[in-house]
Structure 1
């Protein structure tokens, strides 16, 4: 069973503990999250011009659409305002800026009717972020930019939170992915041949949980949750923002969700910076996590 907390007032330490147990939290749009999606909407409108971005896929060749996203997404990720707005969102929702570290916000798209499901607009199969070298104390934040419906959001598969799934994470190393595969996403238009961890046994997708926040609303869940992209049948491209956080006290204490089936190596910890001053994650912690991942797989 997955419990979803709406606009909970529990403190962040309590919330993190519940998230590590498989709970999900949702919050109404905040002033900073509204400003964040406003920035995204501005950049999207500039990129798509006269096209309605949610229906442009029906008017554009898929290669042109993919090329447009290849320019748009980095503009959002690296926009200086994002590094100001993300800490503001986190502070509004109770995080300590001195203890919380975040990675870059990603602009995600999910097109309808299998128009573009690879590369720059990858439709994620069921997976845990922990299969991709994420620490078990990673929390995922997800914010829709335009209205969403059950037919174009993501799904959680709660029966697997504490149940292992045979998967390909043993062949994944984050440093190797960065060297060989990450920057080639825009080249994969018709299919995606990059090696990525996926289930290697049948996964029962039902029962599943789908959460439909308002634009600017926030959904928060553990990176250890098994989740997937819902096959989009809505007739509209979904645009959303996601980013990840870790609390450095939990990183130091190894407090987080249980590892039920991840066998990857490497760590994403070097992607995180501190909210208060943008200082990077201490290198020693990344080295320790890399060593522990190698020890786990023998």
Structure 2
């Protein structure tokens, strides 16, 4: 069972505890989240020009669309306004700026009717982020940029919270992925041949939970939730923003969701930046985390 809590009146510590226990939390759009999506919309509009970005897939060859995203997405990631808006959002949501760390916000797309489902616009199979070397204290944040519907969001698979799924994470090493596979995403247009952790046994996708936030609305969940990209049949490309956070006190104390089935190596902890000053997490923390795996 997945319990969804809307607009909870709680501290960040209480919120994290609920997320580590498998809850999903939503918030309505706020001044800081709206500023973030308005920034994203401006970059998207500049990239697509006269085309409506949500329907441009019906007017562009898929190779041209993929090339456009290959320029747009890194620009959003590395734009200083993206980080500034995200830091304001985390502060607004009550995160401690000295103990909260975030990874860079990413612009995600899900095109409709199998137009582009690999590489730069990868349609994720059922997975846990912890299969990809994420710490078990990782919280995922997801925000739609334009209106979304049930046919172009993501799905949670609540029957697998606490239930192991045989998967390919034992072959996944985060450092090797960064060295050999991350930079080639834009080249995978028709198919994606990169070896990514996937279920290695039949997974029942129903029952599932689909949430449809308003533009700028927030959805928070544990990186250990089994979730997937819903096959987009809406006729429109979905644009969203996601990023991850960890609290360094939880990382050090090993507080987080239980490990149900992850066997990967490496850690993403070195990717996280402190909200207060954008400093990376201390190397000794990442090393200690590795030695504990």
| C-alpha distance after superposition, 1:107-164 (max 9, x if no partner) | 0000000000000000000000000000000000000000000000000001101000
Q: Give the conservation status (yes or no) of the 8 Å contact 1:266–1:289.
A: no
What is the deviation of 1:169? 0.0
- Tell whether 2:18 aligns with 1:18: yes
CA RMSD in angstroms, aligned pairs only: 0.5
- Counterparts of residues 193-212 of structure 1 (less than 5 Å): 193-212=193-212
Tell me the equivalent position of 2:135.
Answer: 135
Tell me the equivalent position of 2:179.
Answer: 179
- Counterparts of residues 158-177 of structure 1 (less than 5 Å): 158-177=158-177
Q: TM-score if structure 1 supplies the norm length? A: 0.98
| C-alpha distance after superposition, 1:43-83 (max 9, x if no partner) | 00010011100000000000000000000000000000112
Tell me the equivalent position of 1:215.
Answer: 215
What is the deviation of 1:292? 2.0
2:23 and 2:238 map into 1 onto residues whose CA distance is 24
Tell me the equivalent position of 1:265.
Answer: 265
Q: TM-score if structure 2 supplies the norm length? A: 0.99
Tell me the equivalent position of 1:47.
Answer: 47
1:158 and 1:73 map into 2 onto residues whose CA distance is 30
Kindly tell me the number of residue pairs found equivalent between the two proteins. Answer: 293
1:175 and 1:117 map into 2 onto residues whose CA distance is 25
Tell me the equivalent position of 2:147.
Answer: 147
Give the 4+ runs in structure 1 shifted more than 3 A: none
- Tell whether 2:240 aligns with 1:240: yes
Question: Residue 140 of structure 2 aligns to a residue in which SS?
Answer: strand
Question: Residue 127 of structure 2 aligns to a residue in which SS?
Answer: coil
1:3 and 1:88 map into 2 onto residues whose CA distance is 27
| C-alpha distance after superposition, 1:84-103 (max 9, x if no partner) | 11111111111111110000
What is the deviation of 1:184? 0.3
Question: Residue 290 of structure 2 aligns to a residue in which SS?
Answer: helix
- Counterparts of residues 246-261 of structure 1 (less than 5 Å): 246-261=246-261
- Gaps of at least 5 residues in structure 2 are none
1:285 and 1:209 map into 2 onto residues whose CA distance is 35
- Gaps of at least 5 residues in structure 1 are 294-298
Question: Residue 25 of structure 2 aligns to a residue in which SS?
Answer: strand
Question: Residue 251 of structure 1 aligns to a residue in which SS?
Answer: helix
What is the deviation of 1:290? 1.6
Q: Give the conservation status (yes or no) of the 8 Å contact 1:22–1:221.
A: yes
